[in-house]
């Protein structure tokens, strides 16, 4: 079972991702929702280490970049693959996402494409 | 001062003419005077000498008679006789009686000087041998001594018997001659003086009349003319050269006056004209200055306007830039806000659709699902196009292996191909590298592949190939689908153009190829479509800069 942490402030987003994964892929994936950056660290500190983190960029208080920087700064979490989720079309978000993260997925998310990308990222991480 | 005046006098024409004339006259007169004096003097001397000779010869017998007569009774009486003789001839200054041997018996000068000594008579001789010899001569001898101015005449006396025993010696003085000469010179000088004065006066008057005063008159005229009094008439009536000169002068003067009058008139006219022209010119200058000032003012106003305009343009540009940024920001925000709600729609609707058992409800969900998909496509592609059209969008070019990139994309979109069972044949060489923006390249290939899949029949294969041509890599994506007409090919890159508009394809937004064209052009490449005709498949070509080439992407 693959543990996927989804960091997104919108509950509907979390809901449909979770529902879709459950419906389409059953128990192959477990979605661990985090409604904010703070919640994400809370969970991580509670020894909930996911196989991959899906990180939304546009979030109130702590945005995706800050979360990313803190994750990469911590030796315990820096190896966790990160896939950015972005609804913004600005190149800064896309490029930076593509360069520093393992992958990125443009919103609106298509669950099957997201799954492919997650699998690819996990494959790459395993090779390391 | 005086010397200067004298010099001036000396330089005067009068002096130059009259002085030489006078000198010549004087020379002539003196020469002639000297000749006259010489001749007169010689004549007078001859007269005196001749008189003396005849007086001597006539008086010798008388002298001797009286000598003999008064010899014994003393010479007192005889002296009186001699006095009388001397009164008769005033030139006679001495009478001597001597014998043939030269013995002196009487000497009138001694007696007259009171040196009379009877005892000495007949004892002394004449002073020199010549005189003694002459006393002995039987003929009268005349000796003229010019140096002493004396005439010495020895007159022999013969007695009746004819014997020659005594001679009378007469001594005459030529002093009278000198007196005469002096008188003559004085007279001549007197005359000559009078003559010179008269001549000078005459010459002066004549010169004045004929030469000096006309010249003076001319000079006056010339001076008058030089002082500006033209038309001065010189009053000279003579017919000589000066007269001609005067006439010529008068003509010239009159002509000059006429000329000057003409000139003055002309000058006046000219002055008037110049004044008029100057006034006109001043007027024109004033107007020009006015125009100039107006121009300067206008220019300044224009400058101000220009600056205002520049400022406004700048402000407007900044405004526009700000607005553009705001627009971009708006699009991004809008994108975020539009895309997020689409996620649940496009993912949950198919789930419901699948799970629905009631065919009527299932169909409803199918329509919802299809429309949600269409809306998702429209939103995503419209926003993509807006971003590509924004001048603020920058591409980040990287060198990458084309084969690998294409494979990655195929891998990511695997589900799409699996659905239609369409195979993708990637024939790109493994070493071929391009310079491209990774994300845009993905977008480009996804769009083209989606199109190819859409218009392909199930089970077909799409072939992706690439080759390097010059500095560019030409990529081709060939399908064996429905193909295109020429009209469709011509319009395929138009925004919102749909190849099969009649069918009203719900899957197509008509923006995909526009996005592709924009991406390729921003890479400095080109994109085109080829198709042998409907039903014969379509090939999309595009070029990207090869990794070795230095083609800069367009903004």
Look up tokens 């024939």; give the residue: B427
Element at B357 (helix H, strand E)? none
Minimal CA–CA distance to A104: which of A82, A89, A125, A84? A84
Length of chain A counted residue by residue: 128
pLDDT at A73: 92
pLDDT given at position B409: 87
If interface means Cβ-Cβ distance under 8 Å, which residues of chain B face chain A?
328, 331-333, 335-337, 339-348, 351, 376, 380, 383-384, 386-387, 393-394, 396, 411-415, 438-439
Partner residue facing A89 (CB), from B331, B344, B413: B331
Of B332, B347, B384, which is closest to A88 when you measure between CB atoms? B332
ipTM: 0.87
Minimal CA–CA distance to B339: which of B388, B290, B369, B372? B372
Using the beta-carbon criterion (under 8 Å), do A89 and B394 form an inter-chain contact? no
- Asked if B414's CB is within 8 angstroms of A19's CB, the reply is no
Partners of B106 in the β-ladder: B97
Q: What are the pLDDT digits (tens) for B337-351?
A: 888 899 999 999 999
- HSE-up of residue B379 (Cα within 13 Å, Cβ side): 25
Cβ contact B332–A91 (<8 Å): no
Average pLDDT, chain B: 84
Across the interface, of A19, A23, A58, the residue whose CB is closest to B336 is: A58
Cβ of A125 under 8 Å from any chain B Cβ? no
**Residue range A107-128: mean pLDDT, rounded:** 88
Task: Tell me how close the Cα of B540 comes to any Cα of chain A, in angstroms.
Answer: 25
Contact flag A16-B347 (C-beta cutoff 8 Å): yes
Q: Is B4 left (phi over 0), alpha (psi -120 to 50) or beta?
A: alpha
Look up residue B122 and give its DSSP letter. Answer: T
A89 with B415: Cβ contact below 8 A: no
**Six token digits for residue B380:** 């995503």
Model confidence at B246, in pLDDT bands (50, 70, 90)? confident
Chain B contact present for A120, CB below 8 A:
yes
Judge contact between B80 and B102, C-beta under 8 A.
Answer: no
Q: Do B340 and A89 touch (CB under 8 A)?
A: no
Q: Which positions ≥6 away from B248 have C-beta within 8 Å?
A: none
Chain-chain contact of B415 with A116 (C-beta, under 8 angstroms): yes
CB atoms within 10 A of CB B449: 23
Chain A and chain B share a number of CB contacts under 8 A equal to: 84
Give CA–CA dist B272/B270, Å, rounded. Answer: 5
Task: Select from B345, B347, B380 the Cβ nearest to the Cβ of A111.
Answer: B347
What sign does the CA torsion over B301, B303, B304, B310 have? positive
User: pLDDT band at B3, cuts 50/70/90?
Assistant: low
Tell me phi and psi for residue B541, to 5 degrees.
-115, 145
- Smallest CA–CA separation between B324 and chain A, in Å? 13
CB B488 within 8 A of CB B499: yes
CA distance A123 to chain B (A): 13
pLDDT of amino acid B551: 47
Which of A95, A107, A112 is closest, CB to CB, to B339?
A107
Tell me if chain B has a CB within 8 Å of the CB of A116.
Answer: yes
Nearest CA in chain B to A94: B439
Q: How far is CA B464 from CA B187, B401, B426, B476, B542, in A?
A: 166, 14, 5, 6, 11
Residue A92 near chain B (CB below 8 Å): no
**Of the candidates B376, B383, B414, which has its C-beta nearest A89's C-beta?**
B383
Q: How far is B352 from chain A (nearest CA, A)?
A: 10
Tell whether the model's pLDDT for residue B305 goes beyond 80: yes
Range ranked top by mean pLDDT from A91-105, B259-273, B274-288, B403-417 = B274-288
pLDDT higher than threshold 50 for residue A100: yes
Residue A94 has pLDDT above 70, yes or no: no
Task: Please tell me whether residue B314 adopts helix, strand or coil conformation.
Answer: helix
**Which residues in chain B are contacts of A87 at CB distance < 8 A?**
335-337, 339-340
B348 contacts on A by Cβ (under 8 Å):
16, 19-20
Residue B208 has pLDDT above 50, yes or no: yes
> Residue B189, Cα to own-chain centre: how many angstroms?
74
* Percentage of the residues of chain B whose pLDDT score is greater than 90: 21
CA of A5, closest CA in chain B: separation in Å?
18
Closest residue in A to B325 (Cα–Cα):
A90
SS3 content of chain A, % helix, strand, coil (to 5): 50, 20, 30
The span from the CA of B446 to the CA of B381, in Å, is 12
Q: Which residues of B touch A109 (CB under 8 A)?
A: 343, 347
Nearest chain A Cα to B332, which residue? A88
What are the backbone angles phi and psi of residue B300, rounded to the nearest 5°? -60, -45
Question: Where on the phi/psi map is residue B85: left (φ > 0), alpha (ψ -120 to 50), or beta?
Answer: alpha
Residue A69 contacts B, CB cutoff 8 Å: no
Mean pLDDT calculated for residue range B221-233: 79
Q: Which residue would you say has higher pLDDT here, B143 or B116? A: B143
Q: Identify from B343, B377, B408 which residue to disrupt to test chain A contact, counting A C-beta atoms within 10 A and taking the largest count.
A: B343
User: Could you say which of B335, B345, B348 has the minimum Cβ distance to residue A88?
Assistant: B335
Inter-chain CB proximity B340 and A13 less than 8 Å = yes
Cα–Cα–Cα angle for B23, B25, B31, rounded to 5 degrees: 100
**What's the mean per-residue pLDDT of chain A?**
87
Residue-wise pLDDT tens digits, B539-555: 999 999 998 744 454 44
**Comparison of pLDDT for B437 and B162, the residue scoring more:** B437
A123 — contact with chain B (CB < 8 Å)?
A: no
- Tokens 């024109």 correspond to what residue? B284
Q: Between the CA of residue B118 and those of A115, B78, B96, B99, B115, what are the distances in Å?
A: 213, 13, 14, 16, 10
Task: Measure in Å the smallest separation between the Cα of B378 and chain A Cα atoms.
Answer: 12
A25: nearest CA in chain B? Answer: B351
pLDDT tens digits along B315-342: 888 888 888 888 888 888 888 888 889 9
Minimal-distance CA residue of chain B relative to A119? B412
Predicted local distance difference test score (pLDDT) of residue B555: 44
Query: How remote is the C-alpha of A57 from its chain's centroid?
Result: 10
pLDDT for residue B403 is more than 90: yes
Residue B390 to residue B331: CA distance in whole angstroms: 10
Q: Cβ of A10 and B340 within 8 Å?
A: yes
Q: Is-contact B58 B131, C-beta < 8 A? A: no
**Could you tell me the pTM of the whole model?**
0.52
**CB-CB neighbors (< 8 A) of B394 in chain A:** 91
């Amino acid at each position: 079972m693959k543990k996927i942490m989804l960091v997104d402030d919108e509950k509907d987003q979390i809901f449909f991702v979770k529902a879709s994964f459950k419906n389409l892929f059953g128990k192959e994936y477990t979605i661990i929702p985090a409604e904010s950056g703070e919640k994400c660290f809370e969970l991580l500190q509670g020894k909930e280490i996911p196989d991959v983190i899906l990180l939304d960029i546009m979030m109130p208080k702590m945005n995706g970049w800050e979360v990313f920087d803190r994750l990469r700064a911590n030796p315990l979490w820096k190896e966790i693959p990160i896939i950015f989720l972005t609804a913004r079309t600005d190149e800064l978000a896309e490029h930076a996402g593509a360069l520093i993260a393992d992958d990125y997925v443009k919103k609106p998310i298509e669950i099957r494409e997201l799954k492919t990308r997650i699998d690819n990222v996990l494959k790459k991480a395993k090779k390391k | 001062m005086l010397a200067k005046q004298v010099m001036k006098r000396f330089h005067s024409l009068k002096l130059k003419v009259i002085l030489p004339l006078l000198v010549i006259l004087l020379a002539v007169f003196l020469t002639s005077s000297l000749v006259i004096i010489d001749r007169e003097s010689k004549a007078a001397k001859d007269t005196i000498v001749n008189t003396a000779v005849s007086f001597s010869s006539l008086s010798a017998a008388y002298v001797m008679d009286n000598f003999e007569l008064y010899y014994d009774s003393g010479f007192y009486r005889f002296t009186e006789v001699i006095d009388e003789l001397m009164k008769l001839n005033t030139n006679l200054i001495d009478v001597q009686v001597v014998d043939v041997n030269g013995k002196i018996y009487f000497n009138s000068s001694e007696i007259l000087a009171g040196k009379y000594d009877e005892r000495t008579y007949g004892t002394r001789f004449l002073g020199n041998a010549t005189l003694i010899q002459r006393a002995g001569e039987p003929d009268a001898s005349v000796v003229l001594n010019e140096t002493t101015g004396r005439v010495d005449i020895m007159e022999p006396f013969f007695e009746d018997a004819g014997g020659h025993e005594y001679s009378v010696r007469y001594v005459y003085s030529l002093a009278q001659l000198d007196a005469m000469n002096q008188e003559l010179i004085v007279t001549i000088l007197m005359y000559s003086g009078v003559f010179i004065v008269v001549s000078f006066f005459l010459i002066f008057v004549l010169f004045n009349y004929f030469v000096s005063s006309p010249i003076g008159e001319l000079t006056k005229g010339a001076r008058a003319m030089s002082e500006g009094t033209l038309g001065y008439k010189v009053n000279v009536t003579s017919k000589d050269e000066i007269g001609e000169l005067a006439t010529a002068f008068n003509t010239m003067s009159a002509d000059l006056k006429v000329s000057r009058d003409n000139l003055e008139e002309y000058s006046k006219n000219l002055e008037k004209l110049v004044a008029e022209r100057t006034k006109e010119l001043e007027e024109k200058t004033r107007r020009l200055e006015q125009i100039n000032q107006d121009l300067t003012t206008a220019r300044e106003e224009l400058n101000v306007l220009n600056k205002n305009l520049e400022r406004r343009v700048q402000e407007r540009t900044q405004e526009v830039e700000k607005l553009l940024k705001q627009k971009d920001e708006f699009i991004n925000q809008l994108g975020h806000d539009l895309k997020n709600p689409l996620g649940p729609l496009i993912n949950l609707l198919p789930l419901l659709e699948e799970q629905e058992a009631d065919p009527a409800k299932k169909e409803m969900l199918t329509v919802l699902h299809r429309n949600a998909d269409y809306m998702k496509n429209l939103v995503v592609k419209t926003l993509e196009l807006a971003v590509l059209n924004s001048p603020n969008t920058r591409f980040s070019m990287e060198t990458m292996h084309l084969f690998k990139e294409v494979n990655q994309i195929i891998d990511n979109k695997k589900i799409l191909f699996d659905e239609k069972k369409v195979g993708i044949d990637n024939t790109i060489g493994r070493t071929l590298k391009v310079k491209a923006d990774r994300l845009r390249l993905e977008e480009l290939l996804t769009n083209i592949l989606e199109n190819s899949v859409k218009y392909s029949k199930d089970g077909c294969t799409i072939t992706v190939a690439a080759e390097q041509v010059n500095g560019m890599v030409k990529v081709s994506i060939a399908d064996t689908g429905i193909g295109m007409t020429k009209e469709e090919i011509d319009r395929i890159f138009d925004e919102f153009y749909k190849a099969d508009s009649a069918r009203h394809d719900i899957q197509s937004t008509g923006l995909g190829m526009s996005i592709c064209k924009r991406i390729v052009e921003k890479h400095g490449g080109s994109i085109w479509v080829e198709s042998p005709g409907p039903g014969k498949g379509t090939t999309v070509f595009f070029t990207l800069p090869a990794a070795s080439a230095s083609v800069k992407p367009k903004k």
